[in-house]
Amino acid sequence: MDLSSHEREVSRVATTIRVQASRGGPVRIDKGGVSHFVPVPGDPRERATPIDASRLRRVLTIDPERRVCVAEPGVTFAELVPRTLEHGLVPAVVPELEDITLGGAVAGCSIESSSYRHGGFHDGCLEYEVISGDGQIVTCSREKEPSLFDMIHGSYGTLGVLSRLTFELVPAKRFVRMEYRRFDHFDAFNAAMVERCKAGDFEFVDGIVHGPRDFVLCLGAFVDDAPYTSSYRWLDIYYKSTRGRTDDFLSTPDYFFRYDAECHWLSRTVPGLETRPVRWLVGRHVLGSRNLIRWSKRLDRVLGLKSRPDVVCDVFVPQRNFGAFYEWYERDFDFWPLWVVPYRMPRPYPWIRESHARHGDELWIDCAVYGKPNDDPRVDGSEVLEQKTYELGGVKTLISRNHYTEERFWQIYDRERYEAAKRRLDPHGVFPGLYEKAHRVRKS
């Protein structure tokens, strides 16, 4: 572990924060690469002073015997997975887009098809090193300052700069065999998904709802060998393949990042980009989450001409209310595909207010809506989705447009615990508050 280089870089960032704290004014963490906050035209965060943490992007050590990795927050999962696979190991949860960073997965809400077993990436984390708003270096874990450790997840960079993570690894193999099971009714699909989660006989469980009578349960297992491998990084499209195939084989990295080429299905918003001739000509320059997000930022002014941005959001609904959510979604929301990911919450997250999470469900269902047009002047689809999620005791990610009043926001998020962590880590308010950062734009 090159601790000397790490400590020098942490010291530099801490000094920058102390200087900025003395000057005042809003700041933001610049981790380098692309931001996975959904682009919103006129985002006020872009006017804040950046704190450059872009050099905190090294894997510091991998311990195959203990199955533990120590790394800096700017490491992307695409960079990490090949390193750990050399030892037959991977993080328990690998988010689906290549450029998501370790720090971003902790600060936000990371999910994937292994989440029915492991929860989020943060649930496998053992220790964080954080640079506070007054330039102090704070180390926390479940044993040391557990109240801080618990609140780093879901804080979206509002408490400090995450500078080092220690996290668990799990055994992996070179390939993943996929099995696709089709259903034409929601009840059968949902029952089969819950059954597989209870049985635990696959490493990966998720689903794609292509339409009201077209459900696909996607089941994956690590295997040592594969008779062939498919790739969905250029000409072929993963989510479409699930409608026609009964099984498939992918290399483990290609499975983890199977949605990256389309940035889920956002590529279909670009005319022709899902056709093979266009993909052959320009796909390598346009496809992929990094490219698509960068293009969306370049087109900020054009996107600003829209009455509203498209709906791009993940919402978590308690499994017991998933049927009610889906009934409403099919009838009123009517946008496909819908990505469905079962998510095990090993214990209630402290940043969720106890009165909101009182149902005590361990299994939640993440429903990912990507790219629904939102140009109906009579209704804002983003706000309607947010309201329905709240009604059903769910929680939405905060990376997109948010409409909560301050009162409603703190009925979901635990204000007392958040503000206690804020006082400890950012007593002078160098970083924005969670409510203020989440409510970037209110555009109708």
Cis omega before residue 342 (within 30°)?
A: no
Q: Is 388 left (phi over 0), alpha (psi -120 to 50) or beta?
A: alpha
Six-digit token string for 314: 């993940």
The three-state secondary structure class of 4 is: helix
Q: Please choose, from the candidates 122, 99, 11, 101, the residue with its C-alpha nearest in 3D space to the C-alpha of residue 57.
A: 101
The pLDDT of residue 270 is above 90 = no
Six-digit token string for 22: 């003395």
The pLDDT of residue 48 is above 60 = yes
Q: Exposed (0-12), middle (13-18) or buried (19+): which is 363, by Cβ within 10 Å?
A: middle
3-171 adopts what CATH topology?
A: 3.30.465
**pLDDT of res. 302:** 47
**pLDDT of res. 284:** 84
Six-digit token string for 26: 């809003």
**pLDDT of res. 61:** 97
Beta-carbon contacts of 87 under 8 Å, excluding residues fewer than 6 positions away, are 62, 64, 169
The three-state secondary structure class of 316 is: strand
Task: Decide: 58 and 2 in contact? Cβ < 8 Å.
Answer: yes
- Flag whether the pTM goes above 0.85: yes
**pLDDT of res. 29:** 83
> What is the overall mean pLDDT for the chain?
90
Six-digit token string for 369: 């809506």
pLDDT band at 285 (very low <50, low <70, confident <90, very high): confident
214-263: per-residue pLDDT in tens? Answer: 999 999 999 999 999 999 999 999 999 999 999 999 999 999 999 999 98
Cα distances from 347 to residues 7, 204, 335, 360, in angstroms, run: 34, 21, 32, 9
Among 176-190, 286-300, 304-318, whose mean pLDDT is lowest?
286-300
pLDDT band at 185 (very low <50, low <70, confident <90, very high): very high
Locate the domains of the chain by residue range: 3-171
92-145: per-residue pLDDT in tens? Answer: 999 999 999 999 999 988 899 999 999 999 999 999 999 999 999 999 999 999
Q: The tokens 């214990």 sit on which residue?
A: 347
**pLDDT of res. 358:** 65
